[in-house]
Amino acid sequence: MNTCKFLLTAWLLACLQLTSQAATPPPAAPQKPAPITRIDPTFWWVGMKNPRLQLLVHGPGIAESKVEMPAYPGVTLDGFQRLESPNYLLVNLTISPQARPGKLRLQFSGPRKASYDYELRARTTPNDPSKVQGISSADFIYLLMPDRFANGDPKNDNIKGMRAPVVARDSMYARHGGDLKGIADHFDYFKELGVTAIWPTPIVENDMRKVSYHGYALTDYYKVDPRYGSTDDYVRFVQRAHQQGLKVIHDVVLNHMGSENYLFKDQPAKDWFHQWPTFTRGNYRDGTVNDPYVSALDRQLFSTTWFDTSMPDPAQENPLVATYLIQNFLWWVELAGFDGYRIDTYTYSDPKFLMDWGQAILDEYPRLGMFGETWMQPAEGVSQQAFWVRNVFPPVNGFKSNLPGAIDFLLHSAIQEALTKEAGWAEGIAKLYYTLQGDWMYEDAGRNVLFLDNHDVSRIFSVLGEDLRKQKMALAWLLTCRGIPQLYYGTEVLMKNFSNPDGLVRADFPGGWPADKRSAFTAAGRTPQEEEMFSYVRTLAQYRKTHPVLHSGKLMHFVPENGVYTYFRYDEQGNTVMVMMNGSQEAKAVDMARFAERTKDYTAARDVLSGAAVADLQKVSVPPYTALVWELRR
């Protein structure tokens, strides 16, 4: 009996155990961690004027997660937002003025689990006067292409894993190996020349398969191209430049990116880019923005098309895209502390975005210099160029530019015409007068950047038929007219060529590579003509640097007569410089009586370029294709 009871009890217990096992679900499979490939911005700062921060989190399947943040004093998690792509998640934070530097923990839970320590740094720009110094008419900018200027570190020439890893100096459109160290190695060269600011073409990553050397098809908004150096190298580059008394201008592209950018290859959502059924190139007509008679199609073909086949167009009217871009350009200023932004293809961006972007940048960094590429043809006129910067016009279609200055393409065309065409009523050298006459439309035309050539147009020496006289005349105008002068690398040593094909105007600076047969960085390596031109630029630029009247004084010009254009730079202290340009093939005697309102207090002068004394201001003869630059004296 006892045995039977025991067996029955054992059987019942076994059944209960089986029933219990059947009712209990199998243990859950361990959660797969969600690999977070990146978060943009990569880090941020406490104490920014705008307390809101939008984080774009990227990782396979990350959109399935929920986000939590353990308490961090002064920081609140405002929520998160899923996008069309399963690989993105937006996280919104508010960082109060009371927040301190540190790392806040972001926890991602749900089917995909992960955590991320996001860094908040202490700002350095507000209390450091060496950072974000701004750009003004007192500066003399030197534009260069890092890949084509000097190779200071051959170890970064070939980077494994990049799409165009090979340096090939014999190929016009391949990488040649120039880098940040190569630029820094020649800071003394810039200072000897009289340069005060360096403008490299974009230094951000351009990991494109073809023609990546120019930098205008970026593939990572938050990374320096490793063939130039690291992001930390760039920060040190700016610091070292400042220590040497040189400013740095950061070249940026708002309108487009490279097609190998991770944001385009794995798009957060379809509405992050302008999409057409097939590739549609833009019409490049910025006049469609303010044309009162414009067709909707023409307007659309300007602002919502791609700049080129490999340059996707972000949809900046999307507020999420706009915030992403604005934060990126704030990030670079705070990180590196450079002094100005040059904005590529400025007019092509969404007009409202341009206003929001400019306001956000200047609210945070009011001293930052900013000038945009406003590529105008002469027929478009000064009013069209002035429309894109701070001007005297009322808003047009809701757009009122807050951009401080433009790259002055109209004066670029005017100086070329002055030196290549016969003088007429409004032609030849008179073109300078009538273009400057339109300065009334700008809030401050002195913030415009003047140039003779750049990486997109033919070199001035070739345009002028390799005439040394005309080259000097052009440079004299560049360094004495109103605005901020910009010199393209090599113009000072007579580098030449035409822009068709464009690679020809982007040749390597002679002496930037150890294997070069000569170095134009030194007097010994320059030909007699090159040395003559270098000395000409140096003399005038150094004078300009030490004589504020020439860069900050008032401007008065006189209607050109008999092929001679005369203008004066003067100030309230009585400092006066006279510039007289003869744009013709014959020497011209000038009647000085018509300039009496500017010369009546002076009896003599000194030639700024030769140092020679000028004893008689009443009898002046200007040689053909010559610019006299005289400091007037009592």
User: Catalytic positions, please?
Assistant: 344, 373
- Across 295-339, the runs of DSSP E, i.e. the strands, are none
State the CB neighbour count (10 A cutoff) for residue 316.
25
Phi/psi at 341 (5° precision)? -115, 130
**Half-sphere CA count of 570, side-chain side, radius 13 A:** 16
Question: Which of helix, strand or coil describes residue 167?
Answer: strand
CB 91 within 8 A of CB 80: yes
Question: Which of helix, strand or coil describes residue 606?
Answer: strand
CB 506 within 8 A of CB 214: yes
Pair of tokens at residue 531: 């040395």
Which residues touch 549 (CB under 8 Å, ≥6 apart)? 569, 570, 571, 573, 575, 576, 577
State the CB neighbour count (10 A cutoff) for residue 619.
10
Give the orientation angle of helix 409-420 with respect to helix 468-478, to 10 degrees. Answer: 150
CA dihedral sign of residues 482, 496, 212, 164: negative
Residues paired with residue 556 on neighbouring β-strands, in sequence order: 568
Rounded-to-integer distance, Cα 424 and Cα 415, Å: 14
Which residues touch 613 (CB under 8 Å, ≥6 apart)? 604, 605, 606, 607
Among 267, 282, 365, 352, residue whose Cα is nearest residue 314: 267
Among 577, 559, 566, residue whose Cα is nearest residue 627: 566
State which amino acid sits at residue 458.
S
DSSP 547-570: -THHHHSEEEEEEEETTEEEEEEE
